[in-house]
Amino acid sequence: MPKLAMFVDVTKCVGCRACTVACKQWNKLPMDKTHFTGSYQNLPDLTPTTYRLVTFKEEPFGGSVSWHLLSHSCFHCNDAPCVKACPVPGAMTQSADKGYVAVDRKKCIGCKYCVTACPWGIPKYESKSEVVAKCTFCAERVENNLTTACAKSCPTGAIAFGDRDGLLAAAKKRVEASKKIFPKAQIYGPGAYGGKGTNVFYLLKEEPSFYGLPPEPVASAALGLWKDVLRPLTGWGIGATVIGALIHYLAKGPADYEEKGEGHGRS
Amino acid sequence: MDVSRRNFLKLAGAVSAGSALGGLSMARPIHAYAKDLPTKGAKEVPTLCPYCAVGCGQIAHVRDGKLVNLEGDASHPISRGRLCSKGAATYQMTVNDRRLTKVLYRAPGASEWQEKPYDWALQEVAKRFKATRDATFVEKDGGALVNRCDGIAWIGSACTDNEECYLFAKLARSAGIVSLEHQARL
């Protein structure tokens, strides 16, 4: 089974927000209270009940005004920092064959390690239910050979869903064509984490920082040190201690205690 | 259980060794989700988006007479499964706890609104529709056969789909109504 991906082409996005509504509808998420901030953008950021959001940015462009829209949600990273940070087996997991990352809200303990580990701050902690919520890549749809709800809904085809290699090739073609109008056009996502990349990637019109995205998303070094080095080392250390103690027991026999009435204390 | 210092140390050693071995298993946990769709076993009813004149196709998933999901119809020639933000929200038009379940009725000359059930309202509308139609029906105008009803104007809702609009138009035309309009054009 090839890895599945979504390719978001912001040059095709018209900001209709069908993706966010389709997401809300499929996941049966309630509305979030919002207020007018002077922009067409609905909420300032993702929330535990808003997995997908279109950000609106109005900027002068070529003597006119251009609308910079970004329909974003979880990037579904390969080797995802949130999965690595999660201390509960099976709470934040990555599908081995399809590549998406999803949180099991029944297993989540609400420690928020994933919230701090994510370079984009995608997982959101819900204080009411005391668990974390984020885009699930429509796991139950994808497992039943359906497209994600947002990709299905998108009227302009800005969100494409399919196998990762095919979409990467399509993205490379699109970026060349887009450069004629948007000289800074670039693909964002596949190059993250030193090439391991993400399974949701973007064709941006401008630099990633223009959209408030980290240009080089990285998992925190402390997380790597803790989970990849210290944790196995501690495990081996404890194992070695036990084996050492066993060898000592076999070689020297049981400790020789002299009972002195109180029942404790080495002679 | 008599927990001596030695026994306690043995137990502690066993527990830490066990947890260490558990921590050593480097296998990444794989998702264990319910693989069933929430729409599993639901009847798929093709319908049309009620909102605008494009008429995008929709699939309504119905289980036990209740709408469980509604999304774009991928086999529809116009929309090919896509819906706009308004069309994608059609589900909540039906399943919504803020939906009105009673009508407000103000009798002629009365100043207060009364809560009435829908069935009563439908009966009342039908009764008055028939009475007005019979009273204002014009069969001939200057010798020409016209068969029209001048006493009633009909305004359709924007939340009715194609099939409902068809039936409403049929009913209005059969009653002789000439002033027939749809709310979306107002």
| Statement to judge: residues A8 and A72 lie in one domain | yes
What's the rounded mean pLDDT across residues A39-57?
90
List the domain boundaries for chain B: 43-94, 126-185
| Statement to judge: residues A183 and A238 lie in one domain | no
| Statement to judge: residues A58 and A138 lie in one domain | yes
Position A145 in a domain: yes
* For residue A145, pLDDT beyond 70: yes
Of B20, B70, B84, the CB nearest to A16: B84
Q: What is the DSSP letter of A14?
A: -
| Statement to judge: residues A74 and A187 lie in one domain | yes
| Statement to judge: residues A12 and A34 lie in one domain | yes
Residue A169, domain CATH: 3.30.70.20
ipTM (interface pTM): 0.74
| Closest Cα in chain A, distance from residue B18 (Å) | 9
Contacts of A20 in chain B (CB under 8 A): 85
Which residues contact residue B107 at a Cβ distance below 8 angstroms, ignoring those fewer than 6 apart?
A: B114
pLDDT for the residue numbered B27? 44
- A interface test, pick of B7, B15, B33 with most A CB neighbours within 10 Å: B33
Position A191 in a domain: yes
pLDDT digits (tens, 9 = 90+) for B4-58: 777 777 766 666 665 555 554 444 445 445 577 888 889 999 998 888 778 899 9
pLDDT digits (tens, 9 = 90+) for A206-233: 899 999 898 888 777 677 777 777 777 8
| Closest Cα in chain B, distance from residue A213 (Å) | 25
Contacts of A256 in chain B (CB under 8 A): none
The identity of residue B181, as a single letter, is E
pLDDT for the residue numbered B170? 94
pLDDT for the residue numbered B3? 62
pLDDT for the residue numbered A258? 65
| Closest Cα in chain B, distance from residue A94 (Å) | 6
Contacts of A26 in chain B (CB under 8 A): 69, 71
pLDDT for the residue numbered A180? 92
DSSP string computed for B73-98: -TT-TTTTT---HHHHTTHHHHS-TT
CB burial readout A215-236, b (16+ within 10 A) else e:
eebebeeebeeebeeeeeeebe
| Statement to judge: residues A202 and A234 lie in one domain | no
pLDDT digits (tens, 9 = 90+) for B72-115: 999 999 899 999 999 999 998 888 888 888 999 999 999 999 99
Contacts of B52 in chain A (CB under 8 A): none
CATH T-level fold of B43-94: N-terminal domain of TfIIb (2.20.25)
Contacts of B72 in chain A (CB under 8 A): 152-153
| Statement to judge: residues A201 and A224 lie in one domain | no
> Confidence class of residue A12 from pLDDT cuts 50, 70 and 90?
very high
Using DSSP's 3-state secondary structure scheme, residue A226 falls into helix
Q: Determine what percent of chain A is predicted with pLDDT higher than 90.
A: 46
pLDDT for the residue numbered A260? 58
CB burial readout A163-173, b (16+ within 10 A) else e:
ebeebbeebee
* For residue A139, pLDDT beyond 80: yes
Position A91 in a domain: no
| Statement to judge: residues A186 and A228 lie in one domain | no
pLDDT for the residue numbered B186? 42
Q: Do A235 and B30 touch (CB under 8 A)?
A: no
* Boundary-marking domain end, from A166, A192, A211: A211
Position A75 in a domain: yes
Position A127 in a domain: no
Position A111 in a domain: no
What's the rounded mean pLDDT across residues A6-14?
94
Q: Do A18 and B34 touch (CB under 8 A)?
A: no
Instruction: Please say whether the beta carbons of A72 and A51 come within 8 A.
Output: no
* For residue A135, pLDDT beyond 80: yes
pLDDT digits (tens, 9 = 90+) for A94-124: 988 888 999 998 899 999 999 988 999 899 9
| Statement to judge: residues A144 and A170 lie in one domain | yes
> Confidence class of residue B1 from pLDDT cuts 50, 70 and 90?
low
In angstroms, the CA A24 to CA A42 distance is 14
pLDDT digits (tens, 9 = 90+) for B103-128: 999 999 999 999 999 999 999 999 99
Element (H, E) at A5: strand A4-9
| Statement to judge: residues A157 and A266 lie in one domain | no
Of B36, B82, B92, the CB nearest to A154: B82
* For residue A183, pLDDT beyond 80: yes
The number of folded domains in chain A is 2
Position A237 in a domain: yes
* Boundary-marking domain end, from A175, A194, A211: A211
| Statement to judge: residues A138 and A180 lie in one domain | yes
Contacts of A150 in chain B (CB under 8 A): none
| Range(s) of the domain holding residue A261 | 220-267
Other residues' Cβ atoms within 10 Å of the Cβ of residue B143: 5
The identity of residue B162, as a single letter, is N
| Statement to judge: residues A59 and A180 lie in one domain | yes
pLDDT for the residue numbered B2? 58
pLDDT digits (tens, 9 = 90+) for B129-172: 999 999 999 999 999 999 999 999 998 887 777 788 889 999 99
In angstroms, the CA A48 to CA A132 distance is 7
Of B28, B33, B74, the CB nearest to A102: B33
Q: What is the mean pLDDT of chain A?
A: 88
Q: Do A18 and B88 touch (CB under 8 A)?
A: yes
Position A125 in a domain: no
